[in-house]
């Protein structure tokens, strides 16, 4: 612990002269717990984009976004400049699916554009040379070469429904998880990258392997544990699976007690914990045997936990009620704020963003207030800035929100 008379600045100043008064772990632990109380919102204008579902930092000032309207956007968080990245198209026919949904007592059935699904996942390989995300067809995966987003390949012939999550295993292999319950293992070799470069167009690849989650009908989120070489797989009906990636086989499955709206998870390799979000709780699991370590309330009951990110010993929680909270897993308590005179839970609230006041809004949502859900958030490499984005929670509403907390 830091001495009560020693500020972080003072500690770093002494360390610059070679005086190590506390360990690196203790210093970083203290820093990461204090940073959230120091950040302030700078809202960003995204125009008329509809709901940001995914985000990743590209550099110290650029973030890449994936939206419900099926657009991949490179955003400069300093200037606000936006560049749309061209979608990559596969060779097969794209059969658009019918969507059913209800608002109140009204029931809707329509045949949507590709934008009805959107880009749900973006992931960058460990060396930072390749980016994978959804393609023009949401059942396919698109791979670009960084930093200039040159097309590399489209991964096809794996999923019969939307891809919900993507993660790189290493610089060459990536896993996709889809609403059809399939897991796809794709390989992007140097040869594929060179062929794409020579032909100045993307290549097409089929899965190296394809497996079905036998118990779950849908795969909602996946995380790869590099320390154990296991893949955590979450289904929206509250099933959690561990897959051994040496054999690409399912090892065991656990049914979670909190089994409603399981749509997000995060992994802390440092603390050997999975965190799984549900309608009103976060469940912490031991990766070795999936035993429940502890469960916490999101403090925004029934609005849903929509995004989770570990930052050392602090779990950042984005909710459907337009808030971001910070949970200290060591002390098992939400971080507190004492700026109002008495301690209270430190809580960011999302700004107004943009909302389409269209016919749907006028008929079903007029004069109602819906805070912007935090569907995605991510820290920069220094872990001192937080990008958060999303949009209105009701499926019938169109809109967006994005902000840099710094």
pLDDT tens profile 312-326: 899 999 999 999 999
Q: Give the helix/strand (H/E) hosting 192.
A: helix 190-199
CA of 10: how far to CAs of 15, 37, 38, 331, in Å? Answer: 9, 19, 17, 25
Q: Tokens 């060459």 map to which residue?
A: 172
Confidence (pLDDT) at 340: 60
Structure tokens at 94: 């794209």
Between 290 and 99, where is the model more confident? 290
- Say which range, 62-66, 93-97, 200-204, has the weakest mean pLDDT: 93-97
Least confident of 26-35, 97-106, 175-184, 191-200: 97-106
Check if the beta carbon of residue 53 is closer than 8 Å to that of residue 376.
yes
In order of their start, the domains of the chain are: 87-212 (2.130.10.10)
pLDDT of 1 strictly over 70: no
Q: Residue 78: pLDDT above 80?
A: yes
Res 212 pLDDT > 90? yes
- Greater confidence (213 vs 141) lies with 141
Reported as a single tens digit per residue, the pLDDT across 270-291 is 889 999 999 999 999 999 899 9
Cα 137-165-182 angle, rounded to 5 deg: 80
Tell me the mean pLDDT in the region 70-84.
97
> 104 or 332: whose pLDDT is higher?
332
Q: Is the pLDDT of residue 396 over 70?
A: yes
Residue 74 has pLDDT above 60, yes or no: yes
Residue 91 Cα distances to 26, 79, 161, 203, angstroms: 53, 37, 16, 10
Note the pLDDT of residue 88: 96
Q: Looking at residues 44-62, what average pLDDT do you find?
A: 97
Q: What is the pLDDT of residue 164?
A: 97
In this prediction, residue 5 carries a pLDDT of 39
Give Cα separations from 190 to 153, 233, 286, 393 (angstroms): 12, 28, 36, 41
């Amino acid at each position: 612990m830091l001495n009560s008379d020693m500020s972080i600045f003072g500690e770093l100043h002494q360390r610059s002269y070679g005086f190590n008064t506390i360990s690196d772990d203790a210093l970083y632990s203290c820093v990461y717990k204090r940073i959230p109380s120091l950040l302030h919102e700078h809202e960003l204008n995204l125009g008329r984009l509809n709901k940001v579902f995914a985000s990743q930092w590209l550099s110290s000032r650029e973030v890449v976004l994936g939206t419900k309207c099926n657009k991949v956007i490179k955003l400069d968080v300093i200037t606000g400049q936006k560049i749309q990245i061209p979608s990559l198209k596969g060779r097969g026919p794209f059969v658009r699916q019918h969507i059913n949904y209800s608002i109140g007592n009204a029931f809707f059935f329509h045949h949507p554009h590709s934008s009805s699904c959107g880009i749900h996942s973006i992931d960058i390989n460990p060396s930072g040379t390749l980016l994978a995300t959804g393609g023009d067809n949401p059942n396919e995966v698109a791979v670009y070469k960084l930093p200039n987003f040159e097309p590399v390949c489209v991964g096809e012939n794996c999923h019969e429904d939307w891809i919900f999550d993507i993660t790189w295993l290493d610089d060459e292999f990536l896993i996709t998880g889809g609403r059809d319950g399939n897991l796809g293992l794709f390989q992007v070799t140097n040869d594929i990258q060179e062929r794409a470069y020579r032909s100045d167009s993307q290549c097409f690849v089929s899965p190296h392997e394809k497996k079905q989650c036998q118990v779950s009908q849908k795969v909602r989120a996946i995380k790869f544990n590099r320390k154990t070489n296991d893949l955590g797989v979450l289904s929206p009906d509250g099933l959690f699976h561990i897959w051994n990636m040496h054999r690409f086989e399912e090892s065991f499955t656990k049914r979670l007690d909190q089994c409603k709206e399981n749509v997000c998870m995060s992994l802390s390799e440092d603390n050997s914990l999975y965190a799984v979000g549900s309608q009103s709780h976060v469940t912490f699991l031991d990766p070795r045997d999936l035993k429940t370590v502890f469960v916490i309330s999101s403090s925004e009951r029934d609005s849903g936990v929509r995004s989770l990110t570990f930052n050392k010993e602090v779990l950042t929680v984005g909710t459907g009620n337009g808030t971001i909270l910070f949970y200290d897993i060591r002390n098992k308590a939400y971080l507190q704020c004492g700026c109002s005179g008495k301690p209270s839970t430190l809580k960011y609230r999302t700004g107004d963003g943009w909302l389409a006041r269209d016919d749907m809004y006028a008929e079903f949502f007029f004069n109602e207030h819906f805070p912007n859900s935090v569907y995605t958030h991510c820290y920069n490499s220094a872990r001192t800035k937080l990008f958060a984005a999303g949009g209105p929670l009701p499926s019938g509403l169109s809109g967006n929100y994005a902000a840099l907390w710094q």
